[in-house]
Structure 1
């Protein structure tokens, strides 16, 4: 059971990292969460950085909400509060890293050092032998003071291959086992042989709710992990990785700037990039949050404000264009002067048309003038901040499309620690009561700015 005191909560914790993207961090994290959750243990999973898609898998695996941890986007105090709260009620905390262990500023390694969380390195060892040991040694010792748990070899070809990898380690205690390549054909019957266990597309992993056999895929990964030393660890064994998570000295009180307001949040296959912490923040601000499907519902629910989050509108253009009653409902909402905040994919759906990657064009809802154009390469990626009504929201940008619009630009984002440039950063468009941008906002970073975008401080 989790041990806690008045000032700190103690819980076993691991940060699952890798030398680079694509090594299998998400699969291993979700498999480990699933393995312990189906044994009745209370598992909380966090994701380093601003990713939306990996948390879908982690929530399915753990059965608990998944929040992001980023020393810049959240701030250290917010991270500390979330970890402390999780540790009070959990048997195991897992944190999936982002990119490579030392990539970015701040990096996953910075988070591990800040909170004293041991690092488990996942290495795609499919094309290496003795170099595996050198890579593990470098990850462990590159930065002095890095808490360390060990290394797991991923996508291993055979038992003999695993022996070669283990024998190359400088420290035998680093060995957490070898995870053989797990393919959907090993368990789920709907996937093609040779396909990835967790499939991807242009913005990252396919979300768990889009596959009928998602839980079966996770069980296949958990079963494979159960054969490793890592997977065979008991709750008592895990206490060796226990971390004391202190309570923040001054917990931040969220002002009730949306008290009495109902905020309708779009949520379906096209609009699914929603931070669980953003919904939590809206509720802490006093809002009543209701969800609706922009694709399938005929009209908005009764509400004061609307949040259209990001997602994949480019994959659902026919349904968007066909839902003319939702289009009319959104237009009536805006014409009544009620707030509408649309970010990234949500903004894209409000333009007049979209040119897809194959060159074809499709109509959209037309609440904002202009069009968007899909590209085969990233248009923007990275952390961003946006100042709204004198308050600064932190977040990020990640999109494959560009926009061309005559809507007024009332602000622009900037990278961390950089000044706003007139023609750089993401535009914040304002058309009447509509605010829209490619910028994905982390609401807890500035409830005051969120209240401005959602009209919390204006008269009903």
Structure 2
């Protein structure tokens, strides 16, 4: 690891006493599936079990990788995205974490330079040295070329070193190390080992709550990492990054638009895609939050509004179909004119039917929205999106493998950010309003517009871009 990295600083750092220094790295890779989450979580677990305070973040929109990072650190994991969450939010969260912990770990997204903005953009903006993870299972000399390219593709990118993943043997590891132009950048190798492999499915990693051995997998990965040069470094030997405090007045106060309102939130294996920051925003808006599990047979709590977040209703369709009391409770809630915000998987559960892949099975679901959703093998929606409600715009994203067929006409569509809009791209996600039900495949980042968030939960009528109000 380059000695100069011990004094890595944020570009334009002039905060003086307001700045905080802390060991920090951004774990990246040439592509998805290289082992970023395994390495980031193993590094966090290794230091946490040695008594150090570790905070982890995930670059870009993601609900699943944070499960593993949260298990490793014992702390909430927030997203950092220069577009969706914004630079000020990123700076504030990083600085707050650095002020209270010994090590900050940011897991990248996709490949290092993929996306707009990319993990490299985040690393450059905040001076986060990149720890590159490369899957080297069928590679020798090319490992060095990949490492060199990642480091030098963008001049001036902060760099920590490279770690090889899925290595066959010590001899193989030696070949990989010898391929590097700068041997000091070698941070070690992890072997191929099913004992700490993190299982995946169609939307990403399997959540830790679904595995009885999740912590054992992290401990196994941490044990192996402990024998590498990276794992043997103390936090004082890792790159020290200086995090500047946000500018005065950068953060706006959240108005209490949901004061006195009770919001019931579904939360279980079928409805698990919840950003911790979104809960914070609802609380800041003045709402009282309660949680219920449809899969556990919980009754719908007394409430003024319901949030059905995304998740995996397709994996639990049979159980959800059997939740007749929940179906009836939600129908009564809607009949009383009380709002429901149904997001992606939450929307799927509200249609009449869910059809599994290849039309294998048809499940009758909760019937608050007419029509059906059908699972498919190909990705149906992916990428950043924004939804404009009146004069306010919510930022977020979409990621799903199903399509819906409904007689409902969308009242609006989300749109891609102009900078990420490819030529000939498909339109945004539909927003459906059916009585007090508001539903979309769109995953919203509530902090991007607390005012628009309050509209979703019925604090006031929804106003679209043409300012037509929808009660």
TM-score range for the pair, normalised by the shorter chain length: over 0.9
Residues 168-317 of structure 1: matches in 2 within 5 Å? 168-184=179-195, 197-238=197-238, 240-249=239-248, 250-317=250-317
Q: Structure 1 CA distance, aligned partners of 2:123 and 2:190?
A: 24
SS at match of 2:22: strand
Q: Structure 1 CA distance, aligned partners of 2:17 and 2:456?
A: 37
- Displacement of 1:362 in angstroms is 1.0
Alpha carbons of 1:5 and 1:219: their partners in 2 closer, same or farther (altered >3 Å)?
farther
Aligned to 2:61: 50
Alpha carbons of 1:403 and 1:132: their partners in 2 closer, same or farther (altered >3 Å)?
same
Aligned to 2:351: 351
Q: Structure 2 CA distance, aligned partners of 1:139 and 1:119?
A: 9
Q: Is 1:413 the equivalent of 2:414? A: yes
Q: Structure 2 CA distance, aligned partners of 1:207 and 1:368?
A: 28
- Displacement of 1:126 in angstroms is 1.0
Residues 424-439 of structure 1: matches in 2 within 5 Å? 424-439=427-442
Aligned to 1:90: 101
Alpha carbons of 1:16 and 1:423: their partners in 2 closer, same or farther (altered >3 Å)?
closer
Match of 2:156 among 116, 131, 145: 145
Q: Structure 1 CA distance, aligned partners of 2:345 and 2:242?
A: 39
- Displacement of 1:110 in angstroms is 0.3
- Displacement of 1:279 in angstroms is 0.8
Residues 302-341 of structure 1: matches in 2 within 5 Å? 302-341=302-341
What count of residue pairs does the alignment treat as equivalent?
443
Q: Structure 2 CA distance, aligned partners of 1:88 and 1:456?
A: 36
- Displacement of 1:243 in angstroms is 2.7
SS at match of 2:112: coil
Q: Structure 1: where are the runs of 5+ without partners?
A: 185-195
Q: Is the 8 A contact 1:182 1:224 kept in 2?
A: no
- Displacement of 1:6 in angstroms is 5.0
Q: Structure 1 CA distance, aligned partners of 2:176 and 2:44?
A: 25
SS at match of 1:55: helix
- Displacement of 1:423 in angstroms is 8.2
SS at match of 2:369: coil
Aligned to 1:76: 87
SS at match of 1:242: strand
Q: Is the 8 A contact 2:263 2:306 kept in 1?
A: yes
Aligned to 1:187: none
Q: Structure 1 CA distance, aligned partners of 2:425 and 2:455?
A: 22
Alpha carbons of 1:302 and 1:62: their partners in 2 closer, same or farther (altered >3 Å)?
same
Q: Is the 8 A contact 2:132 2:161 kept in 1?
A: yes
Q: Is 1:8 the equivalent of 2:10? A: no
SS at match of 1:128: coil
Q: Is the 8 A contact 1:8 1:247 kept in 2?
A: no
Aligned to 2:362: 361
Q: Is 1:452 the equivalent of 2:463? A: no
SS at match of 1:35: helix
Is 138-147 or 244-253 further displaced after alignment? 244-253
Q: Is the 8 A contact 1:262 1:303 kept in 2?
A: yes
Deviations 1:250-297 (A, max 9, x none): 222222211111111110010001111111111111111111112223
SS at match of 2:236: helix
Q: Structure 2 CA distance, aligned partners of 1:406 and 1:140?
A: 52
- Displacement of 1:422 in angstroms is 13
SS at match of 2:187: strand
Alpha carbons of 1:377 and 1:147: their partners in 2 closer, same or farther (altered >3 Å)?
same
Q: Is the 8 A contact 2:94 2:243 kept in 1?
A: no
RMSD: 1.8
Moved over 6 A (4+): none
Q: Is 1:20 the equivalent of 2:23? A: no
Q: Is the 8 A contact 1:296 1:323 kept in 2?
A: no
Q: Structure 2: where are the runs of 5+ without partners?
A: 1-14, 462-471
Is 206-215 or 164-173 further displaced after alignment? 164-173
